[in-house]
Structures are given as C-alpha cells and as structure tokens.
Amino acid sequence: MTNIAVYKKSIPGHVLEQVVELVRANLTDLSMHAIPQSNYMFAVYQYAIAFEVRMYLDVIAHTQKIPAEVAIAYVEDNPVKVVGFILYLPVQSHPEACGVTYMAVASECRRKGIAKAMMAEVKIRYPHVELTCSPAKVSYYESMGFQTLCTRDTQVVMNTRDHSTEGLMQILDVAPIYQSFEVKKIHSSLVQRYGLRAMADAEKQLARHLQQLSYKAAVFVKERKQSLTQKPQAGVEA
C-alpha cells in the first residue's frame, strides 16, 4: 500500500531532496529530449532538469510566487521514504485545470499502481489535466482516462478531456539554468574528458535524436487519430 500527500504551500526538506534524486535517476524518462545515458550531454541535462524541479519545489516551500503543487507517494510502513511524485501547475484562470510537468516512480516500486494513485489525487483537485509523454506511454495514460490531442515537440499531448484549457500556466524561466556557471563547468569538464570534437558530435547526435523523436510522435498521433475515427461504433457491423 502507498500513502499519497499533496503539498502546495510547504514541503519538508527531506521530501524535496528525495524528489530531486528521483529526477536524477529517471532523467531519460522525464526529459522531453529522452536523452540516453550513452550521450555525453547526459550529465548536463541531468543537472539542469534536476535543478529546474528543485526551483519549482522551492517555490512551493518558500515563495509561492508561481502556482505549483506536488503529489508525493510514500511507502505505507515508511512514511519518510518517497517512492514517487507528480509535479503539476494549476491554471489560475481555470480552477479545474492543471498541467503535469514531471512525474516519476522509483524503479523498484513500479507496476504497483503508485502512478495511478498519485494521478487520482491530482484529478480529484483538477479534473481537467494535461500532460505530455512519449508514444510508448500513451496506452498507459489512456488507462488513466487520458486521450490523445496532438504533438508538442518530441511528445504526445494527452488530456483528460478532448481539448486543452484556454488558460495559461505560469512557468519558470529555465533558460538561465543552461547558461549558469554550474552547467558551463559540467560542460567544460566533459570537454576535458572526452575532447571538443566528441562533445560536438554528441550535440549533433542529440539534435538528430530529437528530430527522430518529433517525427515519430507526429506519425504516432496521426495514426492514432485515424484508428479512432475508423473504429466501428457500438451496434454497427464493421
């Protein structure tokens, strides 16, 4: 069994740190780039996305300048052990709507209904939920009541309704993270370790990887919508 807690005005420090570690451990699944660990740029994105999530959690814990909430899954017999989280942003102009930014479950705790339990808590508060995922995860989210809308960059946009909310989410500007001293230091150490040419090749490989992901997502959504429109209605012979 799992206990779910929702934080929107404060978050304990030990919870914050465990969420950040979950992000670091699940970067490939969490990032829209789906960057593989074999790519030398992995360390850059691992730092940047973990820092982004930390920024959102700091907003919840301290400033509340941006509407942000997080659902946390704990092991029932260990109430301080975080095994999953969903970070989501409410839409202020539409009280029923929110957008999921990041979600992860610890690898050793998957296939136990933890993600569905967390999502159920989110949907109680915000029945109009939108998220993005890879084509491989569409069926999984369909089992939670989501439907395919369109594509966004490399991912499929899914929603609990047949349309996106007209409201806008307030998000953090993450561009400065990638220009920060820390990221530049990580990149410099990678150049020293692998060489400038190897790092340039890694960036080119990543760019090709993103193009392929975007193409696959677009093809998937097109085929998905075609299959739904061609699906025979109840009581009508195929």
Give every strand in the sheet of 155-159, ordered side by side: 2-7, 69-75, 78-90, 97-105, 128-133, 155-159, 147-152
Q: Which helix (H) or strand (E) holds 101?
A: strand 97-105
How large is the greatest C-alpha to C-alpha distance in the chain, in angstroms?
67
* CB-CB neighbours of 164 under 10 Å: 15
Question: pLDDT tens digit string along 174-218?
Answer: 999 999 999 999 999 999 999 999 999 999 999 999 999 999 999
Architecture of domain 2-166+175-229: 3-Layer(aba) Sandwich (3.40)
Predicted TM-score of the model (pTM): 0.90
pLDDT digits (tens, 9 = 90+) for 78-137: 878 999 999 999 998 899 999 999 999 999 999 899 999 999 999 999 999 999 999 999
Q: How far apart are CA 208 and CA 154, in angstroms?
A: 12
Domain-by-domain residue ranges, the chain? 2-166+175-229
**CA geometry: angle at 214 spanning 135 and 185, to 5°?**
105
Please give the Cα distance from 113 to 118 (Å, whole number): 9
